[in-house]
Amino acid sequence: MKPRTKQEKLVVELSSKLPAITEKQKQWAKDTCFEKIGYYHKGEVWCMKCGMVHEKKSSPLGIDIVGDETVCPYCGTHLKLENSRERKSIERWYFTIATTCMGFQVFRHFIIERQMYKVSDNISGGHEPYFNINEAVQNWISEDGKEYVVARPCKCIPHIYDAWDFKKPMSIKDKGKVRLRYSYSPDRYDINSAFVYPVRRIIPKLKRNGFTFRCNRVSASSLAVMLLTDNEAEMLIKTKQYDLLYQKSVRGIPEEVKPSIRICNRNGYIVKDASLWIDYIHMLLYFHLDTHNAKYVCPADLKAEHDKLLKRRNREEERQREIDRMREAQGWEKTYAQEKGRFFGICFGNEHIVITVVQSVAEMAEEGKAMHHCVYACEYYKKKESLILSAKDKDGNRIETIELNLKTFKVVQSRGVCNSNTPQHDEIINLINSNIGLIRRAAS
């Protein structure tokens, strides 16, 4: 896109005058950005630093489980071994150079690519790694917190959001229109590289506001904009609440939680898991506990206290659901009596067992509670084709609960305590089948 405003034109002009990356910076990237590992296969170690192959006896299983290390005899690099049959290695990493230009804070993001090929003959020289370094993105941030992006165009490759076209020149970009049509695509210009060149130049206002690269979960450009435009971000970074700062950058911090952050800062308490801590504060508010008291706000074991309140809340919500269910069930008493009233009073049994029809929703609730099954919780009183009966002994102790289908007049199920089968199970089924005529006549 072409620069439109005076500031955009100034940024493009200044960008063209930035110095090229130096040999010292390139060497730092080559030494820092790639893990020092050796690929082990059949007694050979391929050094990912110099590309040479040397012999070493080791156990592949031991490398996977325990790990193993060696020192390359050619370059002297200490290598961590990995099992691999690879004969070609291509790695790419971002690294960042922080600098300033005419009052702007500039973050220059480069991609370093290393290509290596395994050769059996170390003398031929084909083992040497090939490096390619290209600049992809520049974030220009003014002292008032406005951000301008200068970057390469991207190739149209599905599902790859940062396929930079290094053959084309860098130009000003509209940062507000960087997302692809895929909802999971990140902001391609908001780069949070793992490697930052150690010689860094920061504008005075950012230094004053506490800018640091220690908050590694937030990209440098996003952090700079936050610190220049938001006093709360400045407070969080100066009190080393880095996880809360990350939380603020991704979804914000609720207003009701902010007073508790001040309590943490007064007591020197660092929040290490911001999302869990915010949920914990919300539960404190739910139970009307004092969120201005360090006793609650600064727990020594956050997870244990969070889980304790969560269990308490779940119990309360379950009690409330039970109350609501009972209130709804009471409204079904009349309907249940109309549908099943013609069966009320049916009673049969033998010298050991008495079987009766459950005559109300309240009685069904008692049945479910006493027998520890779901006859009430699963709302069997709403089932028009089911008749619920209760089998008891001569002393009135419940034995089993029976469901009878009113279309087929067959027993669907008969359950004892905790859905078990009792010793009297077959006897109860036989009693039902022997007296099914009583129920048939009542249904007709």
Question: Based on the domain organization, do 378 and 321 belong to the same domain?
Answer: no
Say which CATH number the domain at 371 has. 3.40.630
User: How confident is the model over 53-71, as pLDDT tens digits?
Assistant: 888 888 888 888 888 889 9
Check the CA dihedral 93-2-224-106 and report its sign: positive
Question: Based on the domain organization, do 89 and 152 belong to the same domain?
Answer: yes
Question: Based on the domain organization, do 91 and 58 belong to the same domain?
Answer: yes
User: How confident is the model over 357-411, as pLDDT tens digits?
Assistant: 999 998 998 999 999 999 988 989 999 999 999 999 988 999 999 999 999 999 9
Q: Is the pLDDT of residue 91 over 70?
A: yes
Tell which residue, 396, 401, 394, has the closest CA to residue 425. 401
Residue at a domain's end among 172, 188, 204 = 188
Domain count, the chain: 3
Question: Based on the domain organization, do 337 and 307 belong to the same domain?
Answer: no
CA 49 to chain centre: 35
Written as six digits, the tokens of 65 are 């489980």
Residue 129: inside a domain? yes
Question: Based on the domain organization, do 34 and 144 belong to the same domain?
Answer: yes
pLDDT for the residue 122: 59
Residue 250: inside a domain? no
pLDDT for the residue 332: 87
Question: Based on the domain organization, do 325 and 345 belong to the same domain?
Answer: no
Question: Based on the domain organization, do 337 and 423 belong to the same domain?
Answer: yes
**Could you tell me the pTM of the whole model?**
0.76
- Binned at pLDDT 50, 70 and 90, residue 184 comes out as very low
Question: Based on the domain organization, do 414 and 340 belong to the same domain?
Answer: yes
**Picking from 86-90, 126-130, 358-362, which range would have the lowest pLDDT averaged per residue?**
126-130
Residue 254: inside a domain? no
Domain range for 290 is 271-330
Residue 179: inside a domain? yes
pLDDT for the residue 401: 95
Single-letter code of the amino acid located at 71: V
User: How confident is the model over 267-321, as pLDDT tens digits?
Assistant: 999 999 999 999 999 999 999 999 999 999 999 999 999 999 999 999 999 999 8
Residue 241: inside a domain? no
Residue 45: inside a domain? yes
Tell which residue, 22, 8, 72, has the closest CA to residue 45. 72
- Residues of the chain with pLDDT > 70, as a percent, come to 95
Going by their DSSP bridges, the two strands 130-141 and 104-117 should be labelled as antiparallel
pLDDT for the residue 178: 44
User: How confident is the model over 189-233, as pLDDT tens digits?
Assistant: 899 999 999 999 999 999 999 999 988 889 999 999 999 999 999
How far apart are the C-alpha atoms of 307 and 245, rounded to whole Å?
24
Q: Is the pLDDT of residue 138 over 90?
A: yes
Work out the average pLDDT over 6-28. Answer: 94
Average pLDDT value for the chain: 90
